[in-house]
Amino acid sequence: MQSDPARTNPVVTALAQRRLPLVMGIVNITSDSFHDGGRFANAGAAIAHAHRLIDEGADILDLGGESTRPGAAPVPMDEEMARVLPVLEAVRGSGVPVSVDTRHPAVMRAALAAGAAMINDVNALRTPGAIEAVAGTDASVCLMHMQGEPRTMQEEPRYADVVAEVTAFLAARIEACIAAGIDRGRIVIDPGFGFGKRFEDNVALARSLSALAVLAPVLAGFSRKSMIGVMTGRASTADRLAGSVAAALWAARQGAAILRVHDVAATRDALAVWRQLEGEKQ
Ligand code: HH2
């Protein structure tokens, strides 16, 4: 299949038309995700949750069949597909574009064939075959920075200059994708909060979001993560909603294009209030 013009992809269209950051609602079809593991592990519960997030106003859904939390064990590819595809098939006609959060080229290909509009790859399409899986389609892609791999990434993250290194990595991944035939307009980048980073690294990257946005539209994923727990003193992910919404607003103010969140309704309300107080015309 040849690449279509970037404009035809619904995520690209939504990004171009946005007046506020797009809200990407997370659907984890897993037993071990750090916040909601096990709650939506079966297809019926995941589909119901996806519809709830659509009703709450999600602009994009992000379906994941493998947890990438620190220490997570890899999921066999067949199992990941068996988790994601039935949910994708159930929600692809909803009018809300569907992203699939996967590191595996075979899952990418199956998801794109089944109607996914975006691939969200915490490995930034570095797995052999991943760039090719996306290049021959009109899909959008999120390239995320991660140091190491989920099982061990939080053991000893190390940077000389985290902002410079993450920026250089994302710039190089953008160029690799473009060289492989992925239109620049289809690419979104993400510094990867919590992925092989210490607390101070996450804070430095959060403060540099507006500089990163010069490279490509930026996706920010703070939702319920440990950095929110550190900042608020909330040990349980269940108690991190207010902190997560505050971080989402911070990202919005820094020019983030997509906010990846567990809590769509709360995030949308916060954005609506923020926008009106900023004085944007209705
Ligand atoms: N965070 C998680 C998973 N995927 N993708 C992007 N682009 N950015 C992120 O920050 C990001 C991501 C971790 O969150 P979650 O999916 O809720 O947890 P788990 O990986 O445990 O399923």
Rounded alpha-carbon distances, angstroms, from residue 15 to 11, 179, 196, 214, 274: 6, 23, 28, 15, 19
Of the listed 173, 197, 225, 268, which one is catalytic? 225
Residue 126's CB is within 10 A of a number of other CB atoms, namely 14
**69 CA: nearest ligand 1 atom:** 21
Query: pLDDT tens digits, residue range 162-174?
Result: 999 999 999 999 9
Distance of CA 282 from the midpoint of ligand 1 (Å): 33
Quote the DSSP letter at residue 146. Answer: -
Q: With a cut of 80, say whether residue 282 has pLDDT above it.
A: no
Query: pLDDT tens digits, residue range 76-103?
Result: 999 999 999 999 999 999 999 999 999 9
Q: With a cut of 70, say whether residue 1 has pLDDT above it.
A: no
Q: What percent of the chain has pLDDT over 90?
A: 88
* Of 22, 27, 34, best ligand 1 pocket probe by most atoms within 8 Å of the beta carbon: 34
Distance of CA 281 from the midpoint of ligand 1 (Å): 33
Query: pLDDT tens digits, residue range 201-240?
Result: 999 999 999 999 999 999 999 999 999 999 999 999 999 9
Can 173 be counted among the known catalytic residues? Answer: no
**36 CA: nearest ligand 1 atom:** 17
**32 CA: nearest ligand 1 atom:** 21
What pTM, to 2 d.p., does this model score? 0.96
Confidence class for position 2, pLDDT limits 50, 70, 90: very low
> What phi and psi, each to the nearest 5 degrees, are found at residue 195?
-100, 85
Assign 5 to helix, strand or coil: coil
Distance of CA 69 from the midpoint of ligand 1 (Å): 7
- Looking at residue 204, its pLDDT comes to 98
Question: Any residues with Cβ below 6 Å from ligand 1, and which?
Answer: 26, 28, 30, 33-35, 64, 67-69, 101, 120, 122, 142, 144, 190, 192-193, 219, 221, 260
* Of 144, 212, 218, best ligand 1 pocket probe by most atoms within 8 Å of the beta carbon: 144
The residue whose CA is least distant from atom 5 of ligand 1 is 122
Residue 113's CB is within 10 A of a number of other CB atoms, namely 11
Query: pLDDT tens digits, residue range 236-272?
Result: 999 999 999 999 999 999 999 999 999 999 999 999 9
- Looking at residue 150, its pLDDT comes to 86
| Joined tokens for residue 161 | 């200059």
Q: With a cut of 70, say whether residue 125 has pLDDT above it.
A: yes
CB contact set of 182 (below 8 Å; sequence gap of 6+): 3, 131, 134, 135, 141
- Looking at residue 3, its pLDDT comes to 47
Distance of CA 189 from the midpoint of ligand 1 (Å): 14
- Looking at residue 280, its pLDDT comes to 60
- Residue whose tokens read 């038309």: 17
Confidence class for position 281, pLDDT limits 50, 70, 90: low
Lowest mean pLDDT among 66-75, 88-97, 104-113, 137-146: 66-75
* Of 61, 69, 107, best ligand 1 pocket probe by most atoms within 8 Å of the beta carbon: 69
**262 CA: nearest ligand 1 atom:** 17
Confidence class for position 153, pLDDT limits 50, 70, 90: confident
